[in-house]
Structure 1
């Protein structure tokens, strides 16, 4: 949900709570649990899963490898679930022309710097910069160039898959709202 008026533009950033992340975390958890159960059943010599009889899979080397994959998968899926729970990367961007202030907020990983909050004056914005890299792994990002602070990315990770026209349109609208030029790289 985004909100715009004459003087204020608020852009909500989705972060890691996406449907694709939830699906991958769930699939990875179930798959790694399956590997671990098959490895354990080959060690015990009992059928914990009726689909794979334990006599067909020897503990050494197949059972050990499957147990290792299961444990590694559980660690990776727990990491994904934590990132989703903490909503890493989520936040908002607030552009206030009346107050002359831009506020950017993002959630990070737990710890001392969990809350990432940047605040600066609109008059310090030099330009909106668009960077486009096509190919096997396309990258379409737009930045806000700040005097003395460098470039701050405004595109979320999920927006790498949107069309170039949508990124350009969003950058043009923001540049028009802030009354700053656009640079394309």
Structure 2
């Protein structure tokens, strides 16, 4: 979802609240629960969950390892659920021609620097750059080239737009800002 007007453009950035992260967090939670239940079943000598038989598994060493993997998987799943809840990486990119500022805003992990907001002048924007890497895991990133600064990525690193979509977005943004597009 994006917001447009004559002098302001706002592009919303998806953070950790992606379908793939929900799927991975759920799979990890279910899998780690299964491992932990099988480990406990081997300790008690009877099946805790009827669908997960553990009568053939000895507690030492297989049951201990299953419990360890279950606990480790639970903590990895908890990490995923926390990043989803906090929406780490989410935010927006705001371009305001009227005030002459460009503001990338992102949310991070809780703490003193949870909200990352940097104000830049739009007159310092030199160009819009498209970074394309093909191969096994293709990556297409839109970046802003600033005078005397590093390039600022727009959007999230995990966003995998089609080449046509990213070209259209770059061209529209370059027209709005009055700069060139480069770096195919």
TM-score by length of 1: 0.94
**Offset, 1:175:** 0.8
Between the two proteins, the alignment pairs up a number of residues equal to 184
Equivalent runs, 1:46-61 vs 2, <5 Å? 46-61=46-61
- For the aligned residue pairs, the C-alpha RMSD in angstroms reads 1.2
**1:26–1:52 Cα change, 3 Å:** closer
Q: Find the residue that maps to 2:151 and give its secondary structure.
A: strand
Q: Tell me if 1:124 matches 2:127.
A: no
Equivalent runs, 1:1-185 vs 2, <5 Å? 1-160=1-160, 162-185=161-184
- Preserved contact between residue 125 and residue 179 of structure 2 (Cα < 8 Å): yes
Q: Greater CA deviation, 117-126 or 12-21?
A: 12-21
Measured against aligned partners, the alpha-carbon deviations of 1:87-124 in whole angstroms (never above 9, x if no partner) come to: 00111111111111111110011112111001011100
CA distance in 2, matches of 1:21, 1:137: 17
CA distance in 2, matches of 1:104, 1:24: 28
CA distance in 2, matches of 1:179, 1:165: 21
**1:148–1:57 Cα change, 3 Å:** same
CA distance in 2, matches of 1:7, 1:52: 61
**Offset, 1:137:** 1.1
Query: Gaps (5+ residues) in structure 1?
Result: none
**Offset, 1:60:** 2.2
Measured against aligned partners, the alpha-carbon deviations of 1:117-163 in whole angstroms (never above 9, x if no partner) come to: 01011100011111111000111111001112210000213422x21
- Preserved contact between residue 106 and residue 116 of structure 2 (Cα < 8 Å): yes
CA distance in 2, matches of 1:10, 1:51: 50
After the TM superposition, which segments of 4 or more aligned residues of structure 1 sit over 3 Å from their partners? none
